[in-house]
Structure 1
Amino acid sequence: MNYVECVPNFSEGKDRAKVESIIDSMKKYPVDVIDVEMNADHNRSVVTVVGDGDSMVNAMFKSIKRASELIDLDAHKGEHPRFGATDVVPFVPILGTTMEYCIELSRRLAERVGNELGIPVFLYANAANTPSRKELPDIRSEKFQYEQLKEAIATNEKYFPDFGPKRLGKAGATIIGAREFLIAFNVDLRTDDLKSTKEMAKRTRERSGGLKNVRALGFNLAETKETQVSMNLVNHTETPVPEVFEYVKREAESRGIPVSRTELVGMVPLKALEEIYRFYLMNRDFSENQILEKKLLEIFSKDSIKHYIEELASDKPAPGGGSASGLVGSMGAALVAMVAGLTIGKKGYEEVSEKMKIIQKEAKETAWQLYNQSENDTRAYDNLSKSLSMPKGTPEEKEERTRMIQARLKDATRVPYRTGELAASMLDYLPVLIERGNKNAVSDVYCAALFISSSVYGSMQNVKINLGLIKDTSFVEEYKAKMVGLSEETKKKTEEILKNMWN
């Protein structure tokens, strides 16, 4: 599974309704919003989202589009530097996903935003096309923000965007890239002396001779009448949080300024909290394996399929056959990726290694899409159930209820059809794997064929039953033809693949 984290920063930290609308736009795709931090002084929101790569690109695109409709940079005021309504969108590899994959995703998103939304995009960090855009402060800073970019983007080659036009609209520009995990850590100071706070930030940040891996700015906090050293820790293993805090604390105390509080913005890795524990309790032998919740999470993650089976076996109508078909198809595609992987680089298979790399990549992506289709199918049924529960006391309510039911039935038809379509796309790879793949894994290819064909047939059964309830005859005719065509094509291909299965 190509799981990634995205941490989009939006230039809105006061109007919760706007932020929620932006977040809602993401939720049209199977991603999980796991944290939202709004800061009125910065007038900025930091959202943490996790999901598979393809879904993340789509979700981020929708959120950038929505932010461009809601946020006017000409009217925006806040302490934090910014280029655009959606200011920064970093892709972060997690759970074994590679940085190269995140770079690919960031560039795909950047191209779409530039071409389809007409918003200038600057690539940064590991996705940067030039060394001068590797570091975020080299692109956007306190002294060079939206207002300065307005003129420079059309006249100064240094600020020509990587994608999109050389002009700014009210949504400004967006900075998109790929980076490792970053900790946003702030230290609030019980003073209104902004000049001293900025001096401390300068002495703390790496580019001014301070701590390695630390970026720091000094801000005023109007709500509390205090100031803040706001920092990004770009490598917490080399420069741990306690070291940074103690450094800022010493700087403040040398000026007679007490620390008011600290703040972690967004999510933080468990290892960073371990570093804090080790430092302040002087427990050098402490291990993350001593954390009860971590052990429980390991157990639960291993049992996630067990939980799904329990849900599937329950008396609830969802998840049902459509969801199960998605999961079965996902396993079939995963087996395709496995066999291709077992062939790559092996002696005697050198001539087909490049072909197998292509198959492996496509199959992995399809496996994850089918996995998401399993969830999408359950979600489609849940939405239909909500429509069935709508009030029907008046003619108007009955009309709206009927309209929504019909709309949700169409959604509940499109989802399983897409599941079958994705699963069927894997069938063309199977003859290649049988003929040229690792011979020791041929049984896995036949298993894949059985899983994939079952996924298609199961999905089409869900299409069939929903079509019987839809009143739009043109829609019914269209999907009935698609259903029959895909089923017959799958039958023909599967029979050809399996004809020598027992020989």
Structure 2
Amino acid sequence: MQHLGNERVSSLLEQLAARTPAPGGGTVAGLQAAFAGSLLSMVAGYSDGAKYAGVEPVITRLAEQASELTDRALAAAEDDARTFAAVGAAYALPSDGEVAKAERKAAINSALAGATTAPRAVIDICADLAAAAEELLPVGNRSVIADVAAAAASARAAASIARVNLESNLASAATGNERESLQAIVDGVDRLLERLDAVTEAARNPVPA
């Protein structure tokens, strides 16, 4: 698979629709987070000129942060595609005989553990996106403030998908400590979704400038 940044939308959609383990939902989660970062970048880009001189340092910082988050999200999307391809390869290993079964099981467990990296990263990115959106909302250009809501909605979708992917790996976690760590991340997503919903609601009912 090519780097997602070089993919045409139609090609990516064809890959998602194909009967292959990757790219899949986790890749979509990373892309949704990248969309959110790009939308925040756009709002920051429109928030310039004399009217915004008093908040220019904040806008500049948020624009840089949004661009960085977009890059991180794309990297997470690509990582998810790679790790789930490894999961598919592990399940395809031969299972004839006790040794082969044991090796296959070990490979599957290792691949599934690796598959938690991307959704965890996406959730972290979405938390940073929420913070950036919360900060940009009151100072950004009001004419494009609906795009802050769109960014929050995209980040919400990303976090929700990432949570589902983590939940699917809880049972296969190698140790109790690992399961507890993953469960804590899963449990924390509800609060993150509430924050993103609050941004969307505020953007729908903005305070006049």
**TM-score, normalized by length of structure 1?**
0.39
Residue in 2 that maps onto 1:498: 200
1:248-290 CA-partner distances (Å, limit 9, x unpaired): xxxxxxxxxxxxxxxxxxxxxxxxxxxxxxxxxxxxxxxxxxx
Give distance in 2, aligned partners of 1:312 and 1:392: 28
Displacement of 1:347: 2.3
| % same residue | 23
Letter paired with 1:351:
G
Structure ranking higher in helix proportion: 2
Kindly indicate whether residue 44 of structure 2 is the aligned counterpart of residue 308 of structure 1: no
For 1:313, the aligned partner's letter is A
User: Would the aligned equivalents of 2:153 and 2:197 in 1 still touch at CA under 8 Å?
Assistant: no
Pick from 399, 412, 417 the counterpart of residue 115 of structure 2: 412
How far apart are the structure 1 equivalents of 2:81 and 2:2? Answer: 15
Contact 2:27–2:81 (Cα < 8 Å) also in 1: yes
Bigger Rg, structure 1 or 2: 1
Pair 1:434 & 2:137 matched: yes
- SS of residue paired to 1:315: coil
Higher relative contact order (CA 8 A, sep 6+): 2
Match of 2:47 in 1: 343
Code of the aligned partner of 1:386: A
Matched, 1:364 2:72: no
CA distance in 2, matches of 1:365, 1:417: 17
How far the C-alpha of 1:370 sits from its partner, in A, is 0.6
Give structure 1 stretches of 5+ with no counterpart: 1-29, 33-50, 53-300
State the Cα distance separating 1:471 from its structure 2 match: 4.5
Rounded to whole Å, the distance in 1 between the matches of 2:108 and 2:21 is 17
How far is the alpha carbon of 1:361 from its aligned partner? Answer: 0.9
Equivalent residues of 2:47, 2:59 under 8 A apart: yes
The structural deviation recorded for 1:495 is: 2.9
Q: Letter of the aligned partner of 2:156 in structure 1?
A: S
* Aligned 1:24-423 pairs, distance under 5 A: 304-344=8-48, 346-423=49-126
1:474 maps onto 2:177 in alignment: yes
Deviation of the 1:382 alpha carbon: 0.6
* Kept in 2: contact 1:340–1:357 (CA 8 A): yes
Aligned residue identity for 2:98: P
Q: Secondary structure at the match of 2:51?
A: coil
Deviations 1:437-479 (A, max 9, x none): 1111101111001001111111111111122333533211210
Q: Distance in 2 between matches of 1:502 and 1:442?
A: 8
Structure 2 CA distance for aligned equivalents of residues 414 and 432 of structure 1: 28
Q: CA RMSD in A?
A: 2.2
User: Is the Cα contact below 8 Å between 1:424 and 1:453 reproduced in 2?
Assistant: no
Please report the TM-score for the alignment, with normalisation by the length of structure 2.
Answer: 0.89
Structure 1 residue 31: Cα displacement: 9.9
1:470 partner SS: coil
How many aligned residue pairs are there? 205
Q: CA–CA distance in 2 between the matches of 1:437 and 1:501? A: 11
- Matched to 2:141, the amino acid is N
